[in-house]
Each structure stands twice: as C-alpha cells, then as structure tokens.
Structure 1
Amino acid sequence: MNFFTHLTGTALAYLLLHPQRRMPHRTPTDVNISLWEKKLIRTSDGKKLGCWLLHGDRRKLAVVGHGIGLSKSASLGQAMHLNGQGFTVLMFDHRNHGESSRDLHAMDMARRFTLDVESCVSWLRAEAGGLDSNLVVFGYSFSTFPSVYAASRGLVDLDAIVCDSGPGLTLESLFQGFMGAGKLPRIPGFTSPSSEAALKEATAHAAVKLLGATWPPPSNAGLMSWIPMMFISGSSDPIVETREVQALAKHYPRVQVKVLEGAHLSTFKEDQDAYLEALSKFLQGVEA
C-alpha cells in the first residue's frame, strides 16, 4: 500500500466518523406523539446531545440511537412503537450528528460514541425513571457497536440491548460494507478495481485505528456475561451481513439473533409484523 493510498484512506475514515450533518427531518409531533419535549444532555466529557424525551411509564425506559450519518428522526418509527407500548423513550443524536455537539477529535472515537450512550442512560434513569425501572438500549447500524460497548464497560445500569442491522464480529467488515454501499464519495485516481480495493482496505484499517476499540468485547467484560440482547439482521443486508452478526452472537450467552426479510435498516418496514412480534417477545422476557 503506497503512502497516497494510506493518506487518502485515513482522510476518508475521518470523514466517515465525522459525517456531513443531517438535521432531524421530522419530529414526534409528525407521527402523532403529543407528550414529548426537547432535552439537551451533557455528556461526561462535556459534549451536548440534542434529545427528544417521549413521556410514558417510568418503569419502562428506552434509549434509542440511530445510524451513522443520520439523526434521531431516522428512528422515529421504532420510537413511536415503543412509546405506544408505554415506554418512556429518550431519542438522541450522537456527537457529530443532528443537533448534537461537534467532536473534532480523530482518535479514541469508540469511547467517545459510547459516552453518548452512557450519558443518556444515566440521565434517563435519574430524571425519568424509578427504583423498579427496566432500561433497554436500542442501537441501529453503527450505533449498535457503542450500545454493546457500553454494556461491556459496565459503567451504567442497563437491563437489555436491542440491536438492528449490527453489530458484526469485525469492525473492518463494517467499514468495508459502508464503502461498498456507496457511503463515501468516489475518489479520482482510485477508479480501477485494484486501486479501489486498496483504498477500501486502507480506509477500513484507518477507521478501526481511529475508533481505538477492543472488539469484540470479552465475554466476561462488564455486563456481557448476563445481559440479554437481541440482534436483528436483514437477510439481504450487504453492510453487516447476517453471518457476521451470528458469529458475534456466539461470544455471549444471552444473545438472540432474529433474521428477518430486508436489507440494512429496512426490516422494520419490510417485515414489520415479524419484527414487532420478535421485539414484543424479547421485551416481555426482559420485564418478567
């Protein structure tokens, strides 16, 4: 790999983790949720997260993330369903996304994204929960990784995790999948199959280095030995393939993998009845 390929891959990796900002394109009001309010939550490292709090039962709490390059509004359908089932839902924009703070740091990004999840969990328990509350973290695509990472760190109190379109066993395959799906621009000088493949490899390698994560988390780390998790995978997902999700799930004792019809982040729409049935059964088990 030559220096120019390495340099270009590093720049693309930085852009992938610091994407062009998309502001929320809808609000809870647009999906007929009336009891909600905007919140600004400060993370433990001083960043501000733009959040929506959907009011519900104090005993049923949900923290809801989103995919990379998107905003919290991308998860409104799932949040609306949860709120309709009685959950108090905190939807948040990760740093560098939506209405949240910019974080220009290049290194240690896995920990920084995980701080977003942890800060939301701590805030929701303190401000909207009760002593007998169950709290479930919902991650989508890229945010499935910090959702699971938060459990592995064991620094906050959560009861279950639901992941949609991830996570997979290897971080490299995630970034290769993003690039294969056209999430980054084509670069002049890297149009031949061999040069394009070299650039994808360089970008994936650099992105993993910028994250600075230990992945997959050890099975005895934090809450990983006991926390119930459900991984939902689309059977035609080209970004985080089902085999990657299944391979990761084998590392932990309480993971259910549900394979549904659909591609990346589309099973909720394409196979909604099966999605909601699987989710309902899982959550009933958590609440039992």
Structure 2
Amino acid sequence: MTTQRSGPGRFGDLREVVRIVPVAQVISQAVVGAWRIYHPKRRPPRHTPASLGLSAERVWVHGADGVRLACWFVPRAGARNVVVLGHGMARDSGMVMPLVKVLHEAGYHVATFDMRNHGESGDGDWWRGQSPRYAIDFHHVVRHLMQRPELAGAKIACVGFSMGAWTALAVANLEPETVRAVVCDSGPTLDIKATIRRMYAAGRSRLPVEHRGPILFRIGRQAFTLASLAFLRPEAWPQEFADHSIELLFIAGAEDPVVRPDDVRDQLRWYPKAELWMVPRANHVTALVVASEEYGRRVLGLLEKAFGPPPVEAVGA
C-alpha cells in the first residue's frame, strides 16, 4: 500500500527551494562578476596614439607564462627618459591616452600596454594567482624598454591606476637604479580584502533589486570577495622599499568609495618621502578626468624632480 505525502510536506519542500534558489543565484552572479573584473569582455581600445595624432610603434612583449602583451611605444625626438603607464582593472590602454599626450608633448618617450585578459593582449591560462602575474607583466614591459638600444641609459617612471599602482611599485622595487619615479592613482591599499568588499558594495545599486536586501547582499559580497581573492592570490603588502630616494606620488579621489583617502594615507609611513594629492570630487580612477590640467602639472613636477628638466630639443620637437 502506497502512502502519499501530505500537502504541508510538499509545501515545505517548495519553501526550501524558494529559499535556496535566490542564494544560489546571488553566489553564482557574484563569482561571475568577480571573474569579469579580471577577465572583462574583450574589445579593441577606443583610443590609441593614432587617435591623438601621435606616431607610435606597436610592440608585443611576452609577459608571465608567455602571455603576449599588446604595447604602444610613443617615441619623442630628443627625449632621454621614458614613462610607462599601466591602466586599471576592466579597462584598457585607451584610458591613459590623454596622459600619454601630455607626457609626450612635455618631452618624454611614453609606453603603455593592455594588461593580460584586457584590450588586445592575450589571455592567461591560470585562473588563480593573477596578482603576481600582473606585476611580472609590468616588469617585462619595463625590461623590454631597458633593452632597446635607443634607450640605453634612460631612466624610467611608472604610472599605475588602481591595480596598476600595486604593480608599478613592485617594478620600482625590482629595478630601483632605472625606475626613479612612480605615480600611484587610486591605490594601493594595505587591506586588499576590505578593498574588494567595498568594490562590491560600490556596485550595489547595479545589482538586481532582489539581491540588494541585507541578507542576499551580504551573501553576494562574501562570495565576490572570496572569489576575487582566489583569482588574485595577492602577495603580502606593503613592500618595503630598499631605496627611498625614488620619487613617489600617491593620488587619491576624495570621493572614492573603494580606495578611500584614509586607505592611501595609512601606507605613507612605509614611504615617508612620498607626496599625496587628494583630488576633490574625484571618484575611483577619475582624477585624470576631473582635474586633468593639475594632474599633468603634478606628474610632470614629479618627473622633473626625478630626472631633471627634459632636454630643450625634446620639448620643442
């Protein structure tokens, strides 16, 4: 004789499904969202040196584990030194092109590149341990410039936005005799886990309405944070500088909810000679847009402290 399950039992199972499905959805979307930050949908950069009227050489550099990095080298007649620009996550080299033009006109060679998994660069096969590979990639770009015959004896400055700020500092620590200046825009921070949590919170208004409630939001934030840490596997920070004569400029947006002004200030005790510029009305990596003229003046001022004035023939070229 077969006994049927009672109605309340079936409804109880249904209630369990109703509770479980939203949780599974929010976790899945959070993990995919974390992956997309480090592996955004691919598209060619909208802005290139050519779109600014600059002549440039397309260069391909092999980064960590052989990933091909799409680079631009923008030479300046009469210039002695080079500035290398690294963009932020989920962006590409196009975001730094306005600064490329400013630096080029001021008398510097300029180089920039698309990070792995971004722009026109290749994809890495590793799904974990991305953070140290970003640093190795930046270092390989700098090493390529150091080996170019026409740049023999040149000094280098590195500019990094967001994640690029971590990698720019790491490269300076590896090449202190050549890399004599670093600009860090919207990063780094001492607590990467807390920074990732704030990154998720900053996008709360873009989440599906049903995922913004207190319980599902906390679940999604935790999933996003753990997934991001797994994908990145960041190394210990901060890195102690052996050479504190390297010129450093930290740029922080006064309204940045991700890398907050105090997060940048907290690490200045490790870099006692660094300058800090707090940009009013700037959000995460928006200082270059919000205060473009002053941005150029401050970066050029740092470069002059590190290198001396550019050659007259380079400025007038």
Report the equivalent of 1:284: 304
SS in 1 for 2:80: strand
2:65 to 32, 36, 45: 45
In 2: Cα distance, 1:257 partner to 1:133 partner: 26
CA contact (8 A) 2:155 2:178 kept: no
- Structure 2: which amino acid aligns with 1:286? A
**Letter matched to residue 239 of structure 1:** V
The 1-side partners of 2:204 and 2:213 are apart by 18
The one of 257, 260, 272 aligned to 1:253: 272
Q: Distance in 1 between matches of 2:253 and 2:195?
A: 14
Question: 1:59, 1:129 within 8 Å by CA — same for their partners in 2?
Answer: no
The one of 190, 213, 216 equivalent to 1:169 is 190
- Describe the superposition over 1:21-73 as per-residue Cα deviations: whole angstroms up to 9, x where unpaired: 2320122122122x212111112521101111111145210111111111101
Partner secondary structure for residue 100 of structure 1: coil
SS at match of 1:59: coil
Partner Cα distance (1:201, 1:260) in 2:
30
Contact 1:61–1:129 (CA under 8 A) maintained in structure 2: no
Q: Which residue of 1 aligns with 2:45?
A: 24
Q: What percent identity do the matched residue pairs reach?
A: 23
Partner of 1:109: 130
1:220-235 aligned within 5 A: 220=241, 223=242, 225-235=244-254
Contact 1:122/1:157, CA 8 A, preserved across alignment: no
Deviation at 1:75, TM superposition (A): 0.6
Number of residue-to-residue matches in the alignment: 284
Give the TM-score, by structure 1 length. 0.87
Amino acid at match of 1:63: V
1:106–1:210 Cα contact (<8 Å) kept:
yes
CA contact (8 A) 2:132 2:235 kept: no
Which of 266, 279, 292 is the equivalent residue of 1:272? 292
Whole-Å separation in 2 of the counterparts to 1:233 and 1:225: 21
How far the C-alpha of 1:112 sits from its partner, in A, is 0.9
Q: Residues 9, 182 of structure 1: CA spacing in aligned structure 2 closer, same or farther, 3 A cutoff?
A: closer
Which of these residues, 93, 107, 119, is aligned with residue 98 of structure 1? 119
Tell me by how many angstroms 1:127 deviates. Answer: 1.6
Inter-CA distance 190–269: structure 2 relative to 1 (3 Å threshold): closer
Give the distance between the partners of 1:172 and 1:224, measured in 2 at CA. Answer: 28
Report the equivalent of 1:59: 80
**Residue matched to 2:228:** 207
The question of whether the paired residues in 2 share the 8 Å contact of 1:135 and 1:159 is answered with yes
The one-letter amino acid of 2:221's match is K
More helix by share: 2
C-alpha deviation, 1:286, in angstroms: 0.6
Q: CA RMSD in A?
A: 2.7
Q: Is the 8 A contact 2:73 2:109 kept in 1?
A: yes
Aligned to 2:5: none
Q: 1:89 to 1:58 in 2, by over 3 A?
A: same
C-alpha deviation, 1:152, in angstroms: 4.0
**5+ long unaligned stretches in structure 2:** 1-19, 309-317
Does residue 1:192 correspond to 2:221, yes or no? no
Q: Partner residue of 1:13?
A: 34
